[in-house]
Structure 1
Amino acid sequence: MNQNTNITDSEFKTFYEPLLKGYGEEFKDVIKSKNDICKLLFLDSKGISIEKLLSNIEKESDTYIKSMIYRLVGVREIIYCRENKQKLDVKSVWELISKSIKIIPKEYTISSIGSQGFLSIPLYKFDESLESFDFLRLHIWDDSLNEYIDLEKCENFSIHTHTFFAESWVIVGKIINNRFDYNINSENSNHSFFKVVYNSSLNEVNQHTSKAVNEKIDIELYQTSEELHLENGNYKIEAGKLHKSGHKNSPLPSATFFSFTGKNGLDKSIVIGPKHISESVINRKMIIDPTELLKKIDKQLL
């Protein structure tokens, strides 16, 4: 871990709600309140060291508190390394995050297929404002997920921009990140801008249906770079910049920790698609048990 500082009860309280948003709705019924957890784990006003906290939590019988503390330490480390431009020890963070998922019933984990074809598991979401927005997720690519997605739609609408600055850390596998640019209203236009509209969802963190609607702005699309990021690699995507992600590790999985933050500026989120399509609906299967995928990643890391 890059951090040796203590975690105080006040800091834990700032993490509590954003961490809670990374769990299924039912988790709120079984997890203790932040005040109760503080009374149990953060007795000293000066705080507790990470090492001591993890040692104490191993003796805790409440698996829901254990899950949240494992996730707290892992998420906190990702944010710290991102903000301070430090190298992230992805394996130690993986151990914490994966353990936080494994020890609780699968229905308490939000896991759905993203529009790009990977499994997305939210870990932390702070959304008081766009400028302070912070969202961390675990992304997993694996051939077993192909049965849940329309591969043609996925390919047609795979090039996109983000509202927020994005950063990704490769846990395992081989991640492709290709970048693109465009000429607007060119005679050679064969793509258009699409706006993505989400439905109302059972959980606000991972939507389960979205619709890409053609905005009738035609463009000539061209690729500007091709990147391959390996285990322990790291890459960044500025807000509003076109890119396309995937993996080249079949039949083995690939996985990343992924972050969005509004602290580095904001831009428009768009999707690029074939200009002859007026709209396309993407259904995302909710609650896919990630257990076997976590095991596959563990085996690959060994």
Structure 2
Amino acid sequence: MLDSSTLTYILGGVATATKATAEDVQPLKEFLSRYPQASKPLNEWHALQHSYFAQWDNTTCQLADIALAVGFLHQKSKEAQITSAEELELAWSLIHHALQSNSVSQAYQTANRSAQGFLAVPLCSIVNNGNIELIFRLHVWLPDRQRGAQGFEIHSHQPFAQSWILAGTGTNHTYSVNSVKCKEQATHAKYALSWSSGGVADKAYKTHQTYSKVVNTRNYVVAKLEGSAVHSRDASYMIQSAEFHSSEVDPDSLHATLFVFDSSQGFFHDAPVLGPKDMESDTHYRDTCKLSPSFLARMVECVRQWEVCMGRGRKHEQCGERLNAIEAFSKAQRLCESPSIAADLRVYRQRAVDKLTMLEDS
């Protein structure tokens, strides 16, 4: 169930993240004011909203969809509830549809590439006195071999975080980190993180960043790998505040997640990045990506459909249903041949072609 109070809270953050105007948001506020104490399933809210907003412009409808999806997953996270594959599919379908809107996508201009290598699309941003209160983003690692700043993979977050896997496979590594007195004993140094949205970088979080900077604090540590967990489609995992971790994604594969930072579930102000012992600082500029959120959403949806087709093909193959397997793998191949995304998904197309070749030769 999703409360109207949660949707009202989320709406301001969606407006900030999407750079929506007051005129775009006002109809949503008026709609929610009609249901001050309501608690409804996601699909009921969706039907109500789209009936109410039938006379409004496309932007307002798409903002409503983003707020619904973010509010739903935020509430599931706070209540520590498992999100089913069907629920995640519905939430993603709302976000995917909204990001295809020209008005919403153009407001973002382009996605930005983080120091960890993924492309980030902000969906909700609530920051209080420079500290993250609630951040919700789409994260996409493209099959482009770009996987972030080497040497700075291990990091921690101030707020509690949770990730829902939309497509592909990623590995989350967790570490124990202990201080040492001398540099010679250390594996890493702690770096302090700051952000800029155009001016001098400081420790106040910025929703729309131009660059981030880490500075060596000369606090030396030993980092030891404690565990690794592989996560794939429809799975979810949590990262506690100040927990050191790193994400690993195959450089030739797409991996996409919906990701939330939520300080109400934990916040630790000193959450450093680990880096080389002998560097002074490192600056990562966020404006290197020329890809639109709309394009990224299409890529994610294509790979999600590709995964379904490939899974069906493998099942048919195992059951000896050769013609059905060929049909499924052929559909997977065709999904990757759309002119707008073919170059970026050629690895996926080839994987489908390889399966077809094996079947034809058998």
Match of 1:171 among 166, 180, 185: 166
The one-character-per-residue Cα deviations of 1:17-75 (angstroms, maximum 9, x if unpaired) are 11111113xx326x4342x4444676566768414325426734511101111011101
In structure 1, the residue matched to 2:112 is 112
Equivalent in 17, 24, 46 of residue 32 of structure 1: 24
* Partners of 2:191 and 2:132 in 1: CA distance: 26
Q: Distance in 2 between matches of 1:201 and 1:225?
A: 38
Which stretch shifts more, 270-279 or 178-187?
178-187
Alignment partner, residue 263 of structure 1:
264
Match of 2:333 in 1: none
Q: TM-score, normalised by structure 2?
A: 0.71
Separation of aligned partners in 1, 2:10 and 2:153: 32
Moved more, 81-90 or 62-71: 81-90
Query: Which stretch shows the higher mean deviation, 105-114 or 81-90?
Result: 105-114
8 Å Cα contact 2:132/2:261 also seen in 1: no
Helix, strand or coil for the counterpart of 1:127? strand
Question: How far apart in 1 are the matches of 2:237 and 2:262?
Answer: 14
Q: 1:289 aligns with which of 289, 292, 295?
A: 292
Which of 190, 194, 199 is the aligned partner of 1:197? 194
Query: Higher helix fraction: Structure 1 or Structure 2?
Result: 2
Instruction: Give the whole-Å Cα distance in 1 for the aligned partners of 2:125 and 2:244.
Output: 23
How many residue pairs are counted as aligned between the two chains? Answer: 287
For 1:251 and 1:195, how far apart are their aligned partners in 2?
A: 31
Percent identity between the two aligned chains: 19
Structure 1 residues 220 and 172, CA, compared in 2 at 3 Å: closer, same or farther?
Answer: same
Contact 1:120 1:139 in 2 (8 A): yes
- Aligned partner of 2:122: which letter? P
What's 1:247 paired with?
Answer: 249
Larger-gyration structure (1/2): 2
Which digits, 9 at most, give the CA deviation of each residue in 1:266-286, with x for residues without a partner?
222101001011111111116
Structure 1's unaligned 5+ residue stretches are: none
| Cross-structure match for 1:139 | 139
| Greater CA drift, 118-127 or 283-292 | 283-292
Relative contact order (C-alpha < 8 Å, sep 6+): which is higher?
1
- 1:1-302 equivalence runs, <5 A: 3=1, 7=4, 12-24=7-19, 27-28=20-21, 31-34=23-26, 36-39=27-30, 43=34, 49-56=44-51, 59-88=54-83, 89-105=87-103, 106-109=105-108, 111-128=111-128, 133-144=133-144, 146=146, 154-185=149-180, 187-201=184-198, 204-248=206-250, 251-267=252-268, 268-285=270-287, 288-302=291-305
Structure 1 CA distance, aligned partners of 2:140 and 2:15? 21
For residues 163 and 43 of structure 1, the distance between their equivalents in structure 2, rounded to whole angstroms, comes to 36
Query: 2:145 and 2:59 mapped to 1: Cα distance?
Result: 28
Q: Deviations over 1:185-238 (max 9, x none)?
A: 264313101111222438930322122111111222221111110111111111
**Counterparts of 1:23 and 1:272, CA distance in 2:** 31
Q: Is the 8 A contact 2:124 2:136 kept in 1?
A: yes
Unaligned runs of 5+ in 2: 200-204, 306-362
1:117, 1:40 → 2: CA distance? Answer: 39
Whether contact under 8 Å (2:177, 2:222) holds in the other structure is yes
Q: RMSD between aligned alpha carbons?
A: 2.8
Question: Alpha-carbon deviation of 1:87?
Answer: 2.1
In structure 1, how many angstroms separate the alpha carbons of the residues matched to 2:145 and 2:17?
21
Report if aligned partners of 1:158, 1:272 keep a CA contact under 8 Å in 2: yes
Q: Please tell me the residue identity of whatever aligns with 1:291.
A: S
Q: Which moved more, 1:124-133 or 1:185-194?
A: 124-133
* AA at the equivalent of 2:260: S
SS at match of 2:18: coil
Q: Counterpart in 1 of 2:308?
A: none
3-state DSSP of counterpart to 1:56: helix
Render the CA deviation track for 1:76-110: whole Å, top value 9, x for unaligned. Answer: 11012111222222211110011111113433126
CA distance in 1, matches of 2:193, 2:242: 14
**TM-score when scaled to structure 1?**
0.84
